[in-house]
């Protein structure tokens, strides 16, 4: 007795068609890998900071034994307002999550932290006696900003500084990934 293949072929064709028409599930996104090429301080975006603090007056850079690049900027038209930016990149794409979490834990014991969403894998701001700070990490990048008041009175700090730090960090991260 011959086997009827038509119903089996029809079911197989229907399964194949439904597999083709379903949208594939998105592949998990890989965390970005930031590159330590060129002068990292030259890749820090100043535009948001200059819009709030006044024009960029001077730039100085240095490095620490840990591989951290320290960038010092002076902004302002009459009174110089220093901004310190630290950039640390782990080699080989290693994550800096544990370093970030450790330092965050220390800061959390000393002051109130405010989370920042949409910046790296995690980010927060805080204020201490030196001024407003922003800290973020994203895979192999640890990035921090500090507006250093020094002897300047708190009242001399224009509003919008924390927002300018966040905007600068966004733009700087985009420059460091290229």
130 occurs within a structural domain = yes
Of 6-10, 60-64, 149-153, the range with the lowest mean pLDDT is: 6-10
Q: Residue 101 — very low, low, confident or very high, per pLDDT cuts 50/70/90?
A: confident
> Phi/psi of residue 74, each to 5°?
-115, 125
30 occurs within a structural domain = no
78 occurs within a structural domain = yes
34 occurs within a structural domain = no
Which CATH number goes with the domain that contains 156?
A: 3.40.1000
Would you state the pLDDT for residue 8? 40
Is the pLDDT at 7 greater than 50, yes or no? no
Report residue 118 as tokens. 């949409």
> Phi/psi of residue 54, each to 5°?
110, 175
Average pLDDT, the chain: 81
Whole-model pTM?
0.78
Would you state the pLDDT for residue 93? 57
7 occurs within a structural domain = no
Number of domains forming the structure of the chain: 1
Let me know if 121 is exposed, middle or buried by CB neighbors in 10 A (0-12, 13-18, 19+).
middle
As a 3-state breakdown, the chain gives helix, strand, coil percent values, each rounded to 5, of: 35, 25, 35
The whole domain housing 76 covers 40-177
């Amino acid at each position: 007795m011959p086997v009827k293949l038509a119903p089996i072929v029809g079911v197989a064709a229907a399964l194949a068609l439904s597999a083709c028409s379903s949208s594939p599930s998105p592949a998990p996104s890989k965390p970005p890998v930031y590159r330590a090429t060129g002068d990292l301080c030259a890749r820090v975006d100043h535009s948001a900071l200059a819009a709030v603090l006044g024009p960029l007056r001077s730039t100085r850079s240095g490095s620490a034994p840990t591989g951290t690049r320290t960038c010092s900027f002076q902004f302002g038209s009459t009174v110089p307002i220093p901004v310190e930016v630290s950039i640390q990149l782990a080699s080989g794409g290693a994550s800096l999550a544990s370093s970030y979490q450790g330092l965050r834990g220390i800061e959390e014991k000393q002051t109130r932290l405010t989370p920042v969403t949409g910046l790296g894998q995690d980010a927060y701001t805080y204020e201490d006696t030196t001024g407003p700070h922003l800290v973020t990490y994203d895979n192999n990048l640890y990035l921090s900003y500090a507006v250093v008041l020094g002897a300047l009175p708190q009242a001399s700090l224009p509003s919008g500084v924390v927002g300018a730090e966040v905007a600068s960090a966004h733009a700087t991260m985009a420059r460091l990934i290229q």
